[in-house]
Structure 1
Amino acid sequence: MFGFEPIIFIIIVINILYVTFFTLRMLLVIKGQKVWASIISMLEVYVYLVGLTIILDNLKDPVNMVAYCLGWGLGVYLGGKIEEYLALGYVTVQAIVNPYDFELPRALKSQGYGVASWTADEKSGRRTVIQVLVKRRHEQKVVKVINKMSPNAFVISYELKNFQEGFWGKGTL
């Protein structure tokens, strides 16, 4: 009963594939990538149907149920890791730094990033606000530059759903 059987491995692998495809499809839909989401969904449903057939034929053994759960958890993890690697979409990185810090925007611009900066008033006085729109895969590079040049900066970033062409057109990113 508790010896290794090939069916256990098959259940785990099928569930990893299914849940990974499911996770990626959902992320692609959220990111507006309808064509890729549709392609992934076809693979997802095929793997699901194959897996469902195997699992329903072998549900009496509790080890198979554990294998199913293990595959599900690993699929969620793998889907998340793949999404991190793909880093789809855009983010805005905003930093509030020391007043009149003009070197940081210059440094970011010299690295090819579009930067908007302005002076703002806050509770403790004047500060410089820097805003950078970047592809998500470049977010950590921008944050590292900010932290290196302005270690006390208050930094936030948030994902964008869409934006219009204008100054920050998609062709310039």
Structure 2
Amino acid sequence: MLSYLGLTGFWLYVVIFLGKMAEVCFSTLRIMFVGKSRKLEGAIFGFIEIALWVIVVSSVLDGLAQDPMKAVIYCVAFTLGIPLGVKIENLLAVGLTSVQVVAANAEGEKIGTVLREHGFGVTFLDGHSVDGTKRELVFVQLRRKRINYAIRLIREVAPDAVISVSDLRSFRGGFLR
């Protein structure tokens, strides 16, 4: 298909490479948005993804027997497009997450105070470790863009706390900023 534009050789390879990488990035974003129940964004990215796919694949298949390098370029672009798509998805950090912290009892209260001072909603539960030591469980729901900030605050107060992070599909009630 791109050969109709007069592209051959090196420039055709460049366009196949960039087109396939872009398609894989859009595929990653489509999957991310659909997984977060954001159907409109998922549909838009899906449309762009499939349009790029049709253009790139038709260009690769056109004269493939005479120029097998197009298939190699296509495969390399697919392989490199995956980590690039994941990187873009992480930079966008769309969605919500939950952070759970297990800390020594005194540290749990300090963590909660610091997080609340920085605008996070915090919930506490009392717990016990396997040896019976009293622990404080701290729960925070937040936007993904704020995960690193929250974890940095927690680590400053309680460097030995156990921290786990989970993606949330939805969130109702409570406090979220």
TM superposition score normalised by structure 2: 0.88
1:120 is matched with which residue: 127, 143, 155?
Answer: 127
Aligned match of 1:74 = 80
Structure 1 residue 167: deviation in Å?
2.1
Structure 1 residue 119: deviation in Å?
2.1
Aligned match of 1:15 = 20
Matching of residue 64 in structure 1 with residue 70 in structure 2 = yes
Aligned match of 2:112 = 105
Misfit runs of 4+, over 2 Å: none
Whole-Å separation in 2 of the counterparts to 1:62 and 1:53:
14
Whole-Å separation in 2 of the counterparts to 1:33 and 1:10:
30
The more displaced of 80-89 and 118-127 is 118-127
RMSD: 1.4
Task: Give the aligned length.
Answer: 166
Runs of 5+ unmatched residues, structure 2 = 1-8
Give the direction of change, closer, same or farther, for the CA distance of 1:58–1:21 in structure 2 (3 Å limit). Answer: farther
Runs of 5+ unmatched residues, structure 1 = none
1:8-157 alignment, distance < 5 Å: 8-60=13-65, 61-101=67-107, 102-124=109-131, 125-157=133-165
Structure 1 residue 122: deviation in Å?
2.0
Whole-Å separation in 2 of the counterparts to 1:167 and 1:21:
33
Structure 1 residue 22: deviation in Å?
1.3
Structure 1 residue 31: deviation in Å?
1.0
Amino acid in the other structure paired with 2:168: L
Alpha-carbon displacement from aligned partner over 1:67-93 (angstroms, at most 9, x marks no partner): 011111122122111100111111111
TM superposition score normalised by structure 1: 0.90
